Amino acid sequence: QVQLVESGGGLVQPGGSLRLSCAASGSIVSINYMAWYRQFPGKQRELVAAIITGTSPVYVDSVKGRFTISRDNAKNTVNLQMNSLKPEDTAVYYCNAGPSYHPLGKLGSWGQGTQVTVSS
């Protein structure tokens, strides 16, 4: 069992920045990947960024060059630095982590989600 808690969401103007954090606890030695997903109303969750052991970080095309995922193994934390935010980035953002990566996150644990709203 892995427990995940997200923080850092909020309201920001277009062009602004937010930094999301996700803290892991429980069976942390079993974590082979950590990832961020987001969900728009009425849509399925989509992968935003992921760090998988043995691979380079991966990003959805729409956030490349704007978002950066990083992992602090000592703190058991994954972060998502979001710059140049756009209204279309508005969504609930979820942390996902576990032993085996699946593009839908179904093999891992989920955080509770944090709302990101980009609006003027």
53-65 pLDDT per residue, tens: 888 999 999 999 9
Query: What does the DSSP assignment read for 17-84?
Result: -EEEEEEEEESGGG--EEEEEEE-TTS--EEEEEEETTS--EE-GGGTTTEEEEEETTTTEEEEEE-S
pLDDT score for 29: 85
Q: Can you list the residues of the chain whose pLDDT is less than 50? A: none
pLDDT in the model for residue 73 = 79
